[in-house]
């Protein structure tokens, strides 16, 4: 992860509802692998829609509970790059 971002909180210190970016993953292989750090092999490997680049990581919060970790596989930057490559063909 390139950077860790603070999740926005209200005046009482509770995390606000919604999606909050917590960092980014650098991808060089066109795949994102998810595993427990104590394991030697990957539990899950997912192909990205574009390939290489920086992929944002978000946490989904509702009612002060973290519900999900979200990694969009298609960002605005990657879509623009893909369109530029397709136009040259």
The arithmetic mean of pLDDT across residues 41-66, rounded, is: 85
- Sketch the domain layout of the chain as residue ranges: 18-88
**DSSP for 3-70, written as a single string:** -B-PPPB-TTSPBPSEEEEEEEEEESSSEEEE--TT-SS-SEEEE-SS-SEEEEEEEEEETTEEEEEE
Q: What is the pLDDT of residue 68?
A: 92
Instruction: Look up residue 52 and give its two tokens.
Output: 């290489």
The arithmetic mean of pLDDT across residues 46-55, rounded, is: 80
Torsion sign across C-alpha atoms 50, 51, 53, 56: positive
The arithmetic mean of pLDDT across residues 35-52, rounded, is: 82
The arithmetic mean of pLDDT across residues 4-30, rounded, is: 84
- Decide: pTM greater than 0.75: no
Q: What is the pLDDT of residue 89?
A: 64
């Amino acid at each position: 992860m390139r950077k860790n971002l603070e999740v926005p909180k209200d005046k009482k210190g509770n995390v606000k509802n919604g999606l909050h970016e917590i960092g980014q993953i650098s991808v060089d292989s066109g795949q994102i692998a998810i595993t427990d750090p104590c394991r030697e092999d990957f539990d899950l490997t997912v192909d990205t829609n574009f390939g290489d680049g920086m992929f944002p990581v978000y946490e989904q919060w509702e009612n002060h509970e973290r519900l999900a970790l979200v990694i969009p596989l298609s960002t605005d930057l990657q879509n623009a790059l893909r369109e530029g490559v397709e136009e040259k063909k």
